[in-house]
Chains A and B, each alone.
Chain A
Amino acid sequence: MSLTSAPAVRARAVLPGFRLTLGTTVLYLSIIVLIPIIALVLTGAGIGPARLWAIITAPRTLASLRITITAAAVATIINAAYGLLMAWVLVRYRFPGRRLLDALMDIPFALPTAVAGLSLTALYSANGWFGSVLEPLGLQVVYTLGGIVLAMSFTSIPFVVRAVQPVLEELDPALEQAAASLGSRGFTTFRRVIFPAIMPAWLGGVTTSFARSLGEFGAVVFIAGNLPFKTEIASLLAYIRLEEYDYEGAAAIALVLMVLALVLLFVSNMVQLRAARHGAVTA
C-alpha cells in the first residue's frame, strides 16, 4: 500500500472520478456487507450477555461447536500434509501430466460445494465405489465424523498448495547447494533449510484452510447425516434455529462463528506479517 502513496498524492489533484467511485464503493459496501453485519452484531447485543452465554453453553450448541472444530482440525492436518506434498511435487519435478495435476488443484474451488457433497456421499455410501470396499472392513464414512472431515478437506484442498507453491518456486537454489556442499542430504536439507523458508506461507495456508473448514456448510450437510450431538455442525445448527424461527439462537451461533473466523483472519495476517519481516532480515 505504501508503495503507491507517493504517486497517488500527486494524482489526487489531476485524476477525475474520486467522488463517483467513493460514492459507489461506500454505498455498495454499506448495503451489501456492512449493514447486514451490523444487524447481526446489534441482534447479539440485544440478546444480552447472560442469554447469549446460555445459548452458547447449551449442551447441543457446545456439542456442535466441538464437532465442527474437531472435524475442521483433522481436515486441516490432512490438507497440511497433502498440500505440502502437492506443492513440492508440482514445483520441483517435471513429469508428463504435471500441468493437469496442477489444474486439478483448483477443482474444489470451481466445483459448487453442494455438488462435492453429493458426489462424496454417494461415493462413500454402502453401495458406492469406495463405500462398498470400506464398509465390509468396518469403516463407515457417511453419516459419521469421518464424513464431515472428508467433506471439509475436499473443499479446502487448494489453500495450502496455492500458498506454498509460489514461495517454493522463488526459493534461492544457492541455499540448498550450500547445504549440500556442507554434507547435508535429502530429508535433512528439507527439514533444516527448505521447510523453515516455506513455513510461514504453509502456516498461512493452514490457517485459511482451517477457517474455511469451520464455515463449510454445503458439502457437509449432504454427508454428515446431521444427528444432534453426533454429526451436527455449528453452521447447520444455526440454520435449524432459523427454521424454528429462533432468530436469537441462530444469531448467537452465527456470532460465535464470525468471531472465530475474524480471530483466525487476524492470526493469519500476523503470521504473514512476521514472515515478511523475518524474510527481510535473512535476505
Chain B
Amino acid sequence: MTRVLLIGAAVVLTAIMVVVPLVYIFVQALSAGWGAYVSNILDPGTLHAIWLTTLVAVIVVPVTVAFGIAASWLLSKFTFRGRGLLITMIELPFSISPIIAGICYLLLYGRQGYLGGWLAQNDITILFALPGILMVTMFVTTPFVVREVLPLMQAQGSDQEQAAVTLGAGGWQVFRRVTLPNIRWALLYGAVLTTARAVGEFGGVAVVSGSIRGKTNTLPLQVELLFNDLNVVGAFAAATVLTLIALVVLVAKTVLERRAGRH
C-alpha cells in the first residue's frame, strides 16, 4: 500500500514539476501552427542566435576537453606543492553563480576594468564580443571534464603508463595508446555535459555579451529578447531548439552511463 502511494506521489509530482513544463514548450511553440513555427525559426535574429550558440559550443567544448585532459594528467600523475589549491580553483566555478562570473569579467576586461586601458591600446576586444562570451562560458564549464576524468585516472593509477615509458614510448604515444583508451567514455561523458552547459549558459553571457541584437545574442538570450518583445510564440520556437539539444544530451548521457558501467 505504501509502495503504491509513494510511487503514485513520485509520478504525479514529477509530471507536474518536470514533464508538463517540458511538454508545454512544444505545445506553445506550435500553438500558431507549423507554418508559423518554421517562420519563427527562420527569423534572421533567431537563425543568427542558433549559429552563434553552435559556434560557442564548437569552440568551448574542445578547449574544455583539452584543459580537462591536461589538468587530469597533471593532478593524477604528479604530486607537487599547490596541487590542492589547483583542485579548489577548478571546483570554484561550480559554486559561483554565472552572473557573478560575468561581473568579474566586466571588472577585469571591461572598459573601466583593470585591463580595460591596456586592451583598448592594443585594439583587443573581449567584452560585448565573441571572446567574452567564449571566456565566460569556459569559466562556467571549467570543472566539467576534470570532474569525470580525474577520478578515473586516479583510480587506474600510472602503472600502465610507466610500463609504456619503460618500453621506450614517448609522451604523446603513451597518452594516445595507453591513457586515452582507458578514459574515452569518461571524456565523452564530460564533453556531453559541457555541451549542455555551454549551449544553455544565460547569466554570465547576459553580462559580458551586451545582448546586441543579431551580433552577440546567443540562443538563450534570444529567447529572453523575444519574450520581452511580447513575441511569446517566437520565444518558444527558439526554446524548442535548446530543448531538443537538451533531450539529445540526456539520451547521450544515459547511453554513456551504461557504457561506462555507472549507476
Q: Which residues in A have some Cβ–Cβ distance to B below 8 Å?
A: 1, 3-5, 7-12, 14-18, 20-22, 24-26, 28-29, 31-37, 39-40, 42-43, 82, 85-86, 88-90, 93, 95, 97, 101, 103-116, 118-123, 128-130, 153-154, 157, 186, 211, 214-218, 221-222, 235, 238-239, 242, 247, 250-251, 254, 257-258, 261-262, 264-265
Contact = CB atoms under 8 A, between A and B. Distances in A.
Interface in B133-188: 135, 138-139, 142, 154, 157-159, 161-162, 165-166, 170-171, 174-175
B106 interface: yes
User: How would you classify the secondary structure of chain A's contact residues: helix, strand, loop or mixed?
Assistant: helix
Contacts of B254: 103
Contacts of A235: 97, 99-100, 203
Given A32-B142, A101-B10, A115-B242, A12 B104 contact: no
A21 B2 CA distance: 54
A215 B103 CA distance: 13
Contacts of A31: 135
B24 interface: yes
A168 to B, nearest CB: 13
Instruction: Give the most central of A36, A86, A108, A238: most B CB within 10 Å.
Output: A36
A25 B250 CA distance: 29
Contacts of B90: 29, 33
A122 B202 contact: no
Interface of B: 2-3, 6-7, 9-11, 13-14, 17-22, 24-25, 28, 66-67, 70-71, 73-74, 76-80, 84, 86-87, 89-90, 92-93, 95-101, 103-110, 112-114, 135, 138-139, 142, 154, 157-159, 161-162, 165-166, 170-171, 174-175, 196, 199-203, 206-207, 219-221, 223-224, 227, 232, 235-236, 239, 242-243, 246-247, 249-250, 253-254
User: How would you classify the secondary structure of chain B's contact residues: helix, strand, loop or mixed?
Assistant: helix
Contacts of B219: 112
A85 B227 CA distance: 35
Contacts of A1: 84, 87, 154
A111 B162 contact: no
Given A20-B70, A40-B104, A40-B107, A33 B14 contact: no
A129 B223 contact: no
B97 A257 contact: yes
Contacts of B206: 217, 239
Contacts of A128: 24
Contacts of B98: 215, 217
Contact of B227 (A35, A120, A222): A222
6 contacts: A3-B154, A4-B76, A37-B104, A112-B201, A119-B25, A251-B107
Instruction: Give the most central of B11, B107, B162, B219: most A CB within 10 Å.
Output: B107
Contact of B6 (A39, A88, A104, A115): A88
Contacts of B2: 186
A77 B200 CA distance: 26
